[in-house]
Amino acid sequence: MTHLEHAPRTDTPLTKAQIAARVAADIAPGSYVNLGIGLPTLVADHLDPGSGVTLHTENGMLGMGPAPEPDAADPDLVNAGKTPVTELPGAAYFHQADSFAMMRGGHIDVCVLGAFQVSVTGDLANWSTGEPGAVPAVGGAMDLAVGARRTVVTMTLLTKDGAPKLVERCTLPLTGVACVSRVYTDLAVLDVGPDGARVVETFGTTHGELETLLGLTLGRTS
Amino acid sequence: MTHLEHAPRTDTPLTKAQIAARVAADIAPGSYVNLGIGLPTLVADHLDPGSGVTLHTENGMLGMGPAPEPDAADPDLVNAGKTPVTELPGAAYFHQADSFAMMRGGHIDVCVLGAFQVSVTGDLANWSTGEPGAVPAVGGAMDLAVGARRTVVTMTLLTKDGAPKLVERCTLPLTGVACVSRVYTDLAVLDVGPDGARVVETFGTTHGELETLLGLTLGRTS
Amino acid sequence: MSATVLAPDALAALGDVADGATVMIGGFGPAGQPTELVEALLAQGATGLTVVSNNAGNGDDPLARLIRDGRVAKMVCSFPRQVDSWHFDAAYRSGAVELELVPQGNLAERIRAAGAGIGAFYTPTGYGTPLADGKETRRIDGVDHVLEHPIHADLALVRADRADRAGNLVYRKTARNFGPVMATAARRTVVQVREVVPAGALDPEAVVTPGIYVDAVVATGTHAGGEASA
Amino acid sequence: MSATVLAPDALAALGDVADGATVMIGGFGPAGQPTELVEALLAQGATGLTVVSNNAGNGDDPLARLIRDGRVAKMVCSFPRQVDSWHFDAAYRSGAVELELVPQGNLAERIRAAGAGIGAFYTPTGYGTPLADGKETRRIDGVDHVLEHPIHADLALVRADRADRAGNLVYRKTARNFGPVMATAARRTVVQVREVVPAGALDPEAVVTPGIYVDAVVATGTHAGGEASA
């Protein structure tokens, strides 16, 4: 169920907040949602409190609420980014094996992740820049990528250096194979999957410009 | 740790209560114990309440107490034989997957089971008489047989027809392979295992008479 | 999963059940059996069912009647034989119902695996016994194991003690048994409880089944043995 | 397991730890980290340790100091890199510590498998990624899986909120994280709690870790952030 009536309409590229709002507009009322660290976290600010969306944090909680007042932070109550959060009525706590069972078992409706690269078939690279000598760290990224019913990505479409992050084939170490279904960016929303990438919506650009920018042939959603 | 000073001393075969007492005498204080349905259940009556032995019931409880007064039975509080039990201070409830994880993972110190047949190498047959047309049922028998740190059996040494139940090789469908370490019977206590059966103690019979009765060569515990 | 619906009665909670569906039914004997929901399934009429349940009915309880009425094509269970499992025994002997006998711990773990997205697992339970006949085996660290696969269901019927409006559940004593794992393993989970309380009225530390696993709840006002709640 | 011992202090609770031991340390960052027990491990002196923990220390916390002091030969963890994981970063770059990087859910499930007597399991997580390189794979129902094995330990150090005299534990909020699974997977489990209460003082329905998994408990009188308990 999408709610395009709430979606931002712009003739310019979206800000990060607008990308987050655009993601939020696609989340059906009553959904269970996991928001990755970084840009995905912003999505929470754009969910209608009356929509009954429940947030999962993979470190062991359903019913996560917003950040507390600074002096009310509880070191025992943190999100996956290890920053303080709060508990909403109807919350529940569980241990790590149960939390990842919930994720891996397909019970989370939507997982929103950041990415370094997404391929047109939905491969995801978001845990390692592949830099030699870097200290690696993966956390729950690989579990989140493959576990939810629907995994979507929020990212800028280009790197700071102008390189496309939506690519024919990921060159960075993979997080998961064929796991992403939609990518929300500053310039466009695109569906990815077995049939390749298809443009859902553009912001301040055109279908043709996007194809040139990415060096890809892009389909259109029907 | 055995407590032979509490063991019954008889020159005649043991009664069922005496077999149960003999098993109880071998259970170390502080142990976690699972008692199978039937004769093994009687062992509970012979455990010293001060010994800190905790009973596990595989339908989801640690800290199981004795049967309640008949008018205090709670249909939600039953043992693996589906008969009413009670809850002791320090009890805990858990679901079936957690309960069998506890069993399979080797956390229960001693599991006491009944048997149709036990082989000299510790194979157990206690779930099926192999009768064609009989409705089969296994319950937790196979999980209990292989899960505990130490699985022991209580049984009469002979069937009602006088056939040995300690055998070279089980003829009935197996419950588990090489899982039993000791057998407590009316006529003898025997260790079983990779080196075959060895007599620990006899009741109203002799080593030689046992060998004749069973048609087996039996070792002696050192 | 979408938000938990509070249903006015058991039949409404149950919703549509297709012929041939796989239905998990909680309970260990009478303890934790979702009696009113199985009654609703009887009334609803679906047939050719595969039922996953530790036992196969006692006396004339609703699960026994489901079997008696020829509605169950297959039972997946650990202990069908009871002193009063007349209806199952007759159906089994006549060939009217197929039986997949599963050791109780493997049953629980296979249901958990379905809920947890585990593709298959190696367990020592059952190795070398007739119940592992034809199954793949592997020796791991000197112990022989059997490969077991998840059991998924279309519908799980569960009895808990209390639910909150978010669908979180707590159970009562050993009636907890299969409820928490079955709730995770079905495409749709329907729960009967003694009472429904507001969101926030259950201690979040003590929730056993988080609401994400619960699609519909009905308050039957009964608990163990069917007595009305105080 | 034998009955739970109530220890007078963290060092006594810890007991002997052999060089080369595998030690699980609970916590997700600071939340649930058994600070006093890791301090005791620092004091105890065992070296050549394999440490299984979601992270690899923050700042100069006791786990970071264990790494700094060359006591850790190998880390098994999902997220060693933190803004303040200086000691791990240096030890990793110099080759002083080996790293087995494990996706967080696989880490939790492998620890659970150890406690649950599961020989190995197939998980979709990590398939097709560098972290599955060289691992056995299998396609099950159209989904590619990786075979993962249990992680056992000699010792688990866990922080809970309260224990009763039977060793039953309850945790606090998201500090629960790895404690309940690690407690099941070690030959010896040592727990620090804010307070110990009499047997029977914890609700049996709300116990998260049953006492069977707990060998020793020490009341440190501190909870989150090290504040003294009220």
Cβ contact D104:A139 at 8 Å? yes
CA distance A57 to A79: 6
Q: Which of residues 68-107 of B touch C (CB under 8 A)?
A: 74-79, 82, 87, 93-97, 99-101, 103-104
A137 Cβ under 8 Å from any chain D Cβ: yes
d(CA C94, CA C88): 10
The total of structural domains in chain A comes to: 1
pLDDT on residue B132: 85
In CATH, what number is assigned to the domain containing residue B148? 3.40.1080.10
Q: What distance in Å separates the CA atoms of residue D63 and residue D41, rounded to the nearest whole number?
A: 9
Half-sphere exposure of A186 (CA within 13 A, CB side): 15
Classified as helix, coil or strand, A108 is: coil
**Catalytic: which of A5, A58, A69, A209?**
A58
Interval D54-73: pLDDT, tens: 999 999 999 999 999 999 99
Helices (H), D24-139: 35-44, 62-68, 86-93, 104-116
Kindly identify which residue of chain C lies nearest to residue B57, measuring between CA atoms.
Answer: C174
Look at residue C223 in the predicted model and tell me its pLDDT.
57
* B63/D contact by beta carbon, under 8 A: yes
Q: Among D112, D118, D140, pick the best mutation site for testing chain C contact (most C Cβ within 10 A).
A: D118
DSSP B168: S
- Record: contact B82-C101, CB cut-off 8 A: no
* Residues of B taking part in catalysis: 58
State the nearest Cα–Cα gap between C224 and chain B, in angstroms: 6
Residue C149 to residue C15: CA distance in whole angstroms: 28
Enumerate chain C positions whose Cβ falls within 8 A of a Cβ in A: 1-3, 112, 114-118, 164-166, 168, 184, 198-200, 204-205, 207, 210-213
Chain D within 8 Å of B26 (Cβ-Cβ)? no
Where in the sequence is the domain holding B111, given as residue range(s)?
A: 3-220
Q: A70 or B8, which is more confident?
A: A70
Average pLDDT, chain C: 95
- B48 to chain D, any CB pair closer than 8 A? The answer is no
pLDDT digits (tens, 9 = 90+) for D144-189: 999 999 999 999 999 999 999 999 999 999 999 999 999 999 999 9
| pTM of the predicted structure, to 2 decimals | 0.96
Regions of chain A with pLDDT less than 70:
1-10
Q: Is the pLDDT of residue D222 over 90?
A: no
Proportion of chain A in helix, strand, coil states, percent, rounded to 5: 25, 25, 50
Strands A150-154 and A180-184: parallel
Q: Is D119 on the interface with C (CB under 8 A)?
A: yes
CA atoms of A100 and C87, how far apart (whole Å): 41
Residues of chain D contacting residue B89, judged by C-beta atoms under 8 Å apart:
166, 198-200
Q: Would you say residue C224 has pLDDT above 70?
A: no
DSSP C185: H
Specify the pLDDT at position B190.
98
For an interface test with B, the pick among C25, C129, C182 (most B C-beta atoms closer than 10 Å) comes out as C129
pLDDT value for D75: 98
Closest CA to A104 of D184, D110, D149, D210: D110
Give pLDDT, residue C3. Answer: 82
Residues of D in contact with B52 (CB under 8 A): 3
Q: What pLDDT, on a 0 to 100 scale, did the predictor assign at position A10?
A: 65
Nearest to D119 among C113, C145, C170 (CB): C145
Choice between A48 and C183, residue whose per-residue pLDDT is larger: C183
Residues in chain B: 222
Instruction: For chain C, give the percent of residues with pLDDT over 90.
Output: 93
- Starting at the edge strand found earlier in the chain, the sheet holding D49-52 runs D5-6, D216-219, D186-193, D153-159, D22-25, D49-52, D72-77, D98-101
Answer left, alpha or beta for residue C65, where phi above 0 means left and psi between -120 and 50 means alpha. Answer: alpha
pLDDT in tens, D17-46: 999 999 999 999 899 999 999 999 999 999
What are the respective helix, strand and coil percentages of chain B, to the nearest 5? 25, 25, 50
Q: Which of D198, D204, D190 is CA-nearest to residue D165?
A: D198
DSSP A84: B
Give the closest residue to A99 by CA, choosing from D105, C150, C181: D105
- The neighbours of chain C, by the rule of 3 or more Cβ pairs under 8 Å, are A, B, D
Question: DSSP characters for B24-49?
Answer: HHTSPTT-EEEE-SSGGGGGGGGS-G
B78 exposure class (CB count in 10 Å sphere: 0-12, 13-18, 19+): buried
Share of chain D above pLDDT 70, in %: 95
In chain D, what are the domain boundaries?
Answer: 5-124+150-219
Q: Which residues contact B186 (CB under 8 A, 6 or more apart)?
A: B13, B14, B15, B16, B19, B156, B157, B203
| CATH for C5-124+150-219, options being 3.40.1080.10, 3.20.20.10, 3.40.50.2300, 3.90.1150.10 | 3.40.1080.10
Is the pLDDT reported for residue C4 higher than 50? yes
Q: How far is B149 from chain D (nearest CA, A)?
A: 9
Nearest residue of B to residue D117 by CA position? B105
Q: Which helix H or strand E contains C76, and what residues bound it? A: strand C72-77
Task: Return the number of other C-beta atoms located less than 10 Å from residue B194's C-beta.
Answer: 8
Residue whose pair of structure tokens reads 């339970």 in the numeric block: C125
The token pair that represents B13 in the structure block? 């075969």
| Long-range residue pairs from A132-136, CB within 8 A, at least 24 positions apart, any chain | A133/D93, A134/D81, A135/D80, A135/D81, A135/D85, A135/D88, A135/D89, A135/D92, A135/D93, A136/D80, A136/D81, A136/D99, A136/D101
Average pLDDT of the residues in B158-178: 97
B109 vs D1, D164, D204: nearest CB = D1
Chain A: list its partners (3+ Cβ pairs within 8 Å): C, D
> What number is the average pLDDT over the span C46-75?
97
Q: How far apart are CA D64 and CA D87, in angstroms?
A: 6
Q: What percentage of chain B reaches a pLDDT higher than 70?
A: 95
pLDDT band at D99 (very low <50, low <70, confident <90, very high): very high
| Residues β-bridged to residue A219 | A198
Q: Does B108 touch chain D (CB under 8 A)?
A: yes
Query: Which residues in D lie closer than 8 A to residue C171 (C-beta atoms)?
Result: 205
Q: Which chains touch B (3 or more CB pairs under 8 A)?
A: C, D
Q: Which residues from chain B sit within 8 angstroms of residue C79, using beta carbons?
A: 137-139
- B48: tokens are 């010293």
Give whole-number Cα distances, D19 to D16, D22, D66, in Å.
10, 9, 13
Inspect the structure and tell me whether chains C and B have 3 or more CB pairs less than 8 Å apart: yes
B147 contacts in C (CB within 8 Å)?
105, 124-125
- Residue A58 catalytic? yes
Interface contact flag, D105 A100, Cβ < 8 Å: yes
pLDDT at position A3, please?
42
| pLDDT for the residue numbered C5 | 94
Rounded distance between C-alpha atoms, residue D27 and residue D162, angstroms: 16
How far apart (Å, rounded) are the C-alpha atoms in residues A213 and B117? 76
> How much is the pLDDT for A49?
85
